[in-house]
Amino acid sequence: MEDIEQTCASLRAQIAATEAQLAGLKRELQVAEQAALNSQSQHTDTEERRWPLLAEEYRRYGRQMIVPQLGLQGQLRLRSARVLIVGAGGLGCPAAMYLAGAGVGTLGLVDGDTVESSNLHRQVLHRSRNVGKLKVDSAIEYLQELNPHPTYIAHRAHLAPDAAADIFKDYDIVLDCTDNPATRYLISDTAVLLGKPLVSASALRTEGQLMVLNNPPRPAGDKTGGPCYRCVFPRPPPANTVTSCADGGILGPVVGTMGVLQALEAIKVITADDTQPPSPPSLHIFSAYSTPLFRSIKLRSRRANCAVCSAEATVNLETVRSGSTDYVFFCGSADPEMLLAPEERVSPLEYRELHPQSTVAETGKQPTMIDVREKVQFDICNLENSINIPISTILASSASKGDDAAAQLPSWIPAELAAADSTNPIYVVCRMGNDSQIVVKKLKELGLDREGRRKVVDIRGGFRSWREQLDPEWPEY
């Protein structure tokens, strides 16, 4: 019976994969047919009419064409422009929406992720019915309804060094809508090496940043070219300081604001009068809870020793393609560090086996569960009788073990844990199982393990594993 069920499950999976592939091919055919129709229609219209745009395009884009900075010539530049957006998430969605709406001729999207329900509060091109679908397909489905005139091209994979140049070469301008340093350096390097202007943005929690880089695009060594990402950030941040939206959180309108500004800057670059010099390079900083909301910092020109755009450049297309320029190594490992030994960690299942809920009182060893998530997360969901000590509070403390350990203990340690005669076990838990490791080491440095007589360990995998192994109803956020 079990073999039959496995066979059925395998067949269902194959059918689903085939249907998904067929759906993708149908979408590609639809895009190709629409592009052919547009091309034919424009060709016929040009022959028969003296107006350069279709009648429907005049109606659609009229409100922006009467803006003096754009005009008819700006609209024609938009229609002939080819724009590549790397990342169809919180930044890429609003950027793509406004560029498509403005009438960009060709819009390419690069992303290998699928839509998740946790994306929907900020990634505004995606819909609930598209959960599980590739983001680029979900986005293009919406964009085609918004404006059928542009040609939409899906690149259904994460950007990789060996493929980046082949993708970028067919576009005029690139938008970096990603959220990790390694990809940012790859995008910037490739854009500079191929002579493409780059609009780069980022957003986290309530803040965002925006830059227009390599504008104007100039060959390596030409000091009149705009700075690149390496010029602004010659060294990446330490890997353990990089926080993603998944870990740090994000307000939808914040990342939406930055994505809209990316679209605006792209339109300005595309429609700029060739006789006018580009705006001086600047870093624009947005903070939703500050007054004023925006401030700008003037950026220096290209660095004389930049590895990509200076006369001393060591990065070229061949080093990028071949992997000699190792972006993951340059930026540090993206994987969480393993700070603890295996015996200093327990899985949720192991914790439950050691401390069954019905026998805690009988054992006499009442465990203490310390939840080191920030209070805003603790308030969303928490374990009964757990103690919330945010990791930010712990890291702000400089106290350490001394001759008088009790006197040296920081104030955030509860009195019951500080008691000299207490050897009840301490378990530390966080959202993903990373911060908890840091706190276990901190507690041991403070001497709370009683020189090995008290168990101080973390819950491996945090509440993500807790949900998978013990409580499927635990809120997933």
Which segments are annotated as binding site for ATP? 90, 111, 118-122, 135, 179-180
Q: How far apart are CA 135 and CA 116, in angstroms?
A: 9
| 8 Å CB contact between 75 and 103 | yes
Q: State in Å, rounded, how far the first CA of the chain is from the last one.
A: 37
Q: How far apart are CA 35 and CA 273, in angstroms?
A: 28
Q: How far apart are CA 220 and CA 195, in angstroms?
A: 10
Choose the catalytic residue: 93, 177, 245, 331: 245
Listed residue (151, 116, 140) closest to 39, CA to CA: 151
Q: How far apart are CA 289 and CA 275, in angstroms?
A: 39
Q: Which residues contact 356 (CB under 8 A, 6 or more apart)?
A: none
**331 tagged catalytic:** no
Helix axes 2-48, 135-146, angle to 10 degrees: 30
Binding residue ranges for Zn(2+): 228, 231, 306, 309
Choose the catalytic residue: 93, 177, 331, 430: 430
Torsions phi, psi for 113 (to 5 deg): -85, 165
Binding residue ranges: 90, 111, 118-122, 135, 179-180, 228, 231, 306, 309
**430 tagged catalytic:** yes
Order across the sheet with 294-298: list the strands.
151-155, 106-110, 82-86, 173-176, 198-204, 207-213, 282-287, 294-298
Consecutive H or E run containing 137: helix 135-146
Give the residue numbers annotated as catalytic, written as ranges: 245, 430
